[in-house]
């Protein structure tokens, strides 16, 4: 921790800090009214991620009325390709500020950042099992009741009539009377998560039954607004895939999950999920985990994935590490991206490299300018990634082919 302002709720911390450290540092600050400061949001699913990485991805959490992380960043300090230390905010080095946040590490090394904090609150969990037809009205209903966080975990069993349609909607509502907090509550242990993961591979119907029963049993449980954003991460997942093959799929082929995020205007959510069901069934692609969240428009980063107020749909696809498995997942995600584009949506750029140049450009029309700015700020391409190199070359190849075609 470098600096803190308990009056304004600002915390400057080195960008190598992981989120549990950031939460601890914010909790150590006392608000003027005697309460405790807290982070607003962090990415879900994993905690051992540094602040600089989250800023570079412009991550988001399960906030129902929040912009991506850019809205929580007061300023940042970075080191550019020339070794210069630069301070960036909304008035100083403004262009770099917008490029570094959501810039995937391509414009410099983030040394430190100042986070905008929020008072820590006690939250009560509100859980119901609903269909997507009722999802948006449920979101409005819960937000009207004061819920500030929430997400929807949908059925992943393709044989269930509720596939991608029915799910567990869990919200978190501020509890202003904290006299009897903390109440006892229990969430799933890593062992129970591994069991659900096994069932997600082998018995999806049972997995959803147990998952929904657990969450319904926690209706009314209480959590701190920052602690409930921490996750049960399963580093032994890879070991599970190696050691727990099903009898119907005894392949020794390695496999993993490949994630994709798709963002839709709320009016187009049902149409997209209907298209997604058809796509997944067409390719026979297996979903292991999926969720739906809300995100508000990002008005500040240069390459925003949240181009409007969107509903965010996340798929984790089971992918064998062989040519057929990779091709199936690639074709599935390309089809999902086409459906997203047709419904005026967006998708996250760096989870995989399956999107075509045309698909990237359809959703990110400023991408060529972004590539030019990368070369402007880092002409020797000191900061590099496989993802960047792939799309740099793909866009250059397309431009060269277009010039040759015009020349003929």
Angle at 69 between CA 86 and CA 128, to 5 degrees: 170
Tell me, rounded to whole angstroms, the distance of Cα 42 from its chain centroid.
9
The residue among 40, 22, 52, 184 whose CA lies nearest residue 116 is 40
The CA distance from 283 to 332, in Å, is 7
The CA distance from 229 to 227, in Å, is 5
Start and end residues for every CATH 3.30.465.10 domain found in the chain: 3-119
Asked if 157 and 208 count as a contact pair (C-beta separation under 8 A), the reply is yes
Indicate the burial class of 149 (C-beta count within 10 angstroms; 0-12, 13-18, 19 or more): buried
pLDDT at 192: 83
**Close Cβ partners of 134 (under 8 Å, ≥ 6 residues apart):** none
pLDDT at 243: 64
pLDDT at 137: 83
The CA distance from 7 to 385, in Å, is 40
pLDDT at 238: 62
pLDDT at 403: 67
**Close Cβ partners of 17 (under 8 Å, ≥ 6 residues apart):** 25, 50, 51
Query: Which segments in the chain show pLDDT lower than 70?
Result: 177-186, 233-252, 402-408
CATH top-level class of 127-362: alpha beta
CATH top-level class of 3-119: alpha beta
The residue among 151, 330, 346, 168 whose CA lies nearest residue 268 is 346
Half-sphere exposure of 106 (CA within 13 A, CB side): 25
């Amino acid at each position: 921790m470098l600096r803190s302002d308990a009056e304004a709720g600002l915390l400057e911390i080195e960008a190598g800090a992981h989120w549990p450290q950031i939460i601890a540092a914010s909790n150590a600050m006392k608000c003027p009214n005697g309460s405790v400061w807290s982070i607003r949001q962090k990415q879900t699913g994993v905690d051992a991620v540094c602040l600089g990485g989250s800023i570079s991805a412009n991550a988001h959490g399960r906030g129902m009325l929040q912009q991506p992380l850019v809205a929580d960043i007061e300023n940042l300090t970075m080191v550019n390709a020339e070794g210069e230390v630069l301070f960036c905010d909304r008035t100083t080095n403004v262009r770099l500020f917008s490029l570094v946040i959501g810039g995937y590490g391509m414009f410099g090394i983030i040394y430190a950042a100042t986070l905008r904090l929020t008072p820590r609150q006690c939250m009560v969990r509100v859980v119901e099992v609903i269909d997507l037809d009722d999802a948006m009205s449920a979101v409005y209903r819960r937000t009207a009741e004061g819920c500030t966080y929430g997400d929807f975990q949908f059925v992943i069993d393709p044989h269930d009539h509720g596939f991608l349609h029915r799910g567990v909607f869990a919200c978190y509502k501020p509890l202003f009377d904290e006299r009897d907090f903390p109440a006892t509550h229990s969430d799933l242990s890593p062992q129970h998560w591994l069991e659900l993961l096994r069932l997600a591979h082998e018995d999806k119907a049972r997995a959803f039954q147990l998952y929904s029963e657990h969450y319904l049993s926690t209706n009314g449980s209480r959590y701190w607004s920052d602690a409930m954003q921490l996750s049960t991460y399963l580093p032994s997942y890879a070991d599970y895939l190696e050691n727990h093959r099903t009898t119907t799929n005894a392949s020794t082929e390695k496999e993993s999950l490949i994630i994709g995020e798709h963002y839709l205007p709320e009016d187009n959510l049902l149409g997209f999920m209907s298209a997604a069901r058809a796509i997944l069934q067409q390719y026979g692609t297996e979903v292991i985990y999926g969720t739906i969240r809300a995100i508000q428009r990002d008005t500040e980063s240069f390459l925003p994935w949240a181009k409007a107020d969107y509903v965010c749909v996340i798929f984790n696809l089971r992918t064998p590490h062989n040519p057929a498995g990779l091709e199936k997942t690639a074709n599935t995600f390309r089809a999902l991206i086409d459906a997203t584009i047709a419904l005026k949506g967006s998708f996250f750029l760096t989870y995989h490299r399956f999107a075509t140049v045309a698909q990237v450009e359809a959703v990110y029309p400023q991408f060529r300018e972004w590539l030019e700015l990368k070369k402007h700020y880092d002409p020797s391409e000191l900061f590099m990634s496989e993802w960047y190199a792939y799309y740099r070359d793909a866009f250059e190849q397309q431009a060269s082919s277009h010039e040759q075609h015009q020349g003929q």
